[in-house]
Structure 1
């Protein structure tokens, strides 16, 4: 005897919620200790903290701020949202602030790698504590400003599993379009266009720099960028599906409704996947630090972060001369 369609949907929804709770629990168990360890290593083991290291520190802080909210989300998905509309808005703000802070910090890391490869001497001259603090302040102010855009619209919603903090209430379609476009453009597409340009240029420049510290550190930053992109891409894809459903309402109401249904269900799962980006970076650092000769894990990690920092002025001059020499050799070969 087959189950009624409504019972099947309810069962499928329950299975999805259980899986989401299990995944989020694992992310909390891995991410909080991992990011705490990164913060502790940088704050306690590194007296000198160049801008690259400060960016990594702030990225870990942004990640841990969102990870500590996971127990509330897990309880909500398992049972129901019991914490009111104000808490719903506050936690949604924390998650979106993390999204913007992470992408802005990763963009800054990519620009830092670009400068370290193309203008190493300029990095040495212009990087100081004041400029670093100003960059961090600007990143966090922008993140808070863009993250706060969610506050007027985030609401609780009655679902088949009870009250949930998964809904947004817009005054109209134009308002929805503006908010979703802002979120996807500023929180994903524009920063990744900048990042892509940086890495295309870097790849051309360091292709012959085998074994260079810049090459190794650039690979690590690239891994951080790619992992963030993979974790947040599904969320922004469903944002674009929402946008398509709004645009198609006037011309094809049936297709618009189908797209909206797909986006509504998909955003729930994609939002859970996005939390993965907050716990994966410590694993990448640990993997990259495995080759350092040391019996203590925090020493390996501090050595990794030191390697990622800009070299001394003399080292920068030597590497720049080496790169220019290789470029001149290649140009001479092409001329022949």
Structure 2
């Protein structure tokens, strides 16, 4: 989430700066050209063509909005890296704050998507209550509020630095080593370690179930979200490794200056890669949706991605009945007597299934 640390390596050694700045501008430019239209396509498709949206599709919509808000700032960063930051310190703080908040929200949305898939597949009856639209709205409000609150340290520490006329909005200035350690720990624990642990637990529990699912839309959406989680892990791990190296540096710089020097060099080298991957993470998700939509391409009137979101949002009673056949009697027994289900008339079963479908969509 620390955008400044992700890009600040560009401001070191002047001889190295030219090549690194060129590479950074190319990466950011490609991310903007690919990611911004891709996320716009996702938003337009869901808003325009998907009327009844499942929880998964709503979360994808919010994720696309968060990614788009990050990507539309890239032209300003490209100009800043190529020349200097000419927009003032207030706009520097405001833009980095919004970007950090959007990146926090992306992490939380991906985590909620995974938890929602886990609950929908493993405990469909228990999850029916909270999967109503009102419950989802509350979760989304909490996610966005938490993201903006957790980004407040950016306002306190973001500064412009450099000679007059060549200032860069790339630096965080801390009042003490303790303050830096607290902010880095907060970012890494809340923005990476905790979500990653939840993701690993959810998909470890679902691993054996995904291959068995006969409910096509559930299988498709679960595999899609799993790929989003993999991309999240690959893109964000280097950034937080840099944070951890920075924390170790703060601890060992006084008693072991030689070790601290090596850590600082490794951190500066990784920072360049980490900064690029952070922005690439906001670019890749729309491409995953398009790739997943390939098997849903149908008539000329409907694009593949449109059919994907519509299919994820739709659930037929027949498919739900097949999916329920994989649930153990023990799972069903915690919510409904299994013997009653066996003797329940087909009409009553279909009626209860229809009610659950409405709640999940």
* Band the TM-score falls in, shorter-chain normalisation: 0.7 to 0.9
1:13-41: per-residue Cα shift (whole Å, max 9, x none)? 21010011011111111111110110011
Go from structure 1 to structure 2 and tell me whether the alpha carbon gap of 1:169 and 1:265 turns closer, same or farther (over 3 Å shift): farther
Equivalent pairs, count: 319
Go from structure 1 to structure 2 and tell me whether the alpha carbon gap of 1:265 and 1:153 turns closer, same or farther (over 3 Å shift): farther
Of 117, 122, 139, the match for 2:121: 117
CA distance in 2, matches of 1:319, 1:211: 6
**1:87 equivalenced with 2:95 (yes/no):** no
Other-structure match for 2:145: 141
Map residues 73-222 of structure 1 onto 2, 5 A cutoff. 73-158=77-162, 162-209=166-213, 212-222=216-226
1:167-200: per-residue Cα shift (whole Å, max 9, x none)? 1111111111100010011111110100100000
Go from structure 1 to structure 2 and tell me whether the alpha carbon gap of 1:152 and 1:218 turns closer, same or farther (over 3 Å shift): same
Go from structure 1 to structure 2 and tell me whether the alpha carbon gap of 1:323 and 1:231 turns closer, same or farther (over 3 Å shift): same
Task: Report the alpha carbon displacement of residue 161 of structure 1 after superposing the two structures with TM.
Answer: 10
1:138-177: per-residue Cα shift (whole Å, max 9, x none)? 1100111112222101112227993211111111111111
CA distance in 1, matches of 2:316, 2:179: 51
Other-structure match for 1:243: 247
Task: Report the alpha carbon displacement of residue 79 of structure 1 after superposing the two structures with TM.
Answer: 0.8
CA distance in 2, matches of 1:176, 1:283: 36
Task: Report the alpha carbon displacement of residue 125 of structure 1 after superposing the two structures with TM.
Answer: 4.2
Map residues 302-317 of structure 1 onto 2, 5 A cutoff. 302-309=306-313, 311=315, 315-317=319-321
List alignment gaps of at least 5 residues for structure 2.
Answer: 1-12, 332-361
CA distance in 1, matches of 2:187, 2:31: 24
Go from structure 1 to structure 2 and tell me whether the alpha carbon gap of 1:140 and 1:154 turns closer, same or farther (over 3 Å shift): same
Task: Report the alpha carbon displacement of residue 273 of structure 1 after superposing the two structures with TM.
Answer: 2.1
Secondary structure of 1:276's aligned partner: helix
Go from structure 1 to structure 2 and tell me whether the alpha carbon gap of 1:213 and 1:51 turns closer, same or farther (over 3 Å shift): closer
Judge conservation of contact 2:242–2:270 (CA < 8 Å) in 1: yes
Task: Report the alpha carbon displacement of residue 316 of structure 1 after superposing the two structures with TM.
Answer: 3.5
List alignment gaps of at least 5 residues for structure 1.
Answer: 1-8, 328-336
TM-score of the two chains, using structure 1 as the length reference: 0.88
Go from structure 1 to structure 2 and tell me whether the alpha carbon gap of 1:253 and 1:310 turns closer, same or farther (over 3 Å shift): farther
Other-structure match for 1:62: 66
Secondary structure of 2:161's aligned partner: strand
Judge conservation of contact 2:214–2:319 (CA < 8 Å) in 1: no
Task: Report the alpha carbon displacement of residue 291 of structure 1 after superposing the two structures with TM.
Answer: 1.4
Structure 1 runs of 4+ with >6 Å offset: none
Other-structure match for 2:263: 259
CA distance in 2, matches of 1:131, 1:161: 50
CA distance in 2, matches of 1:207, 1:19: 41
Judge conservation of contact 1:120–1:316 (CA < 8 Å) in 2: no
CA distance in 1, matches of 2:300, 2:128: 30
CA distance in 2, matches of 1:168, 1:65: 22
Task: Report the alpha carbon displacement of residue 311 of structure 1 after superposing the two structures with TM.
Answer: 3.4
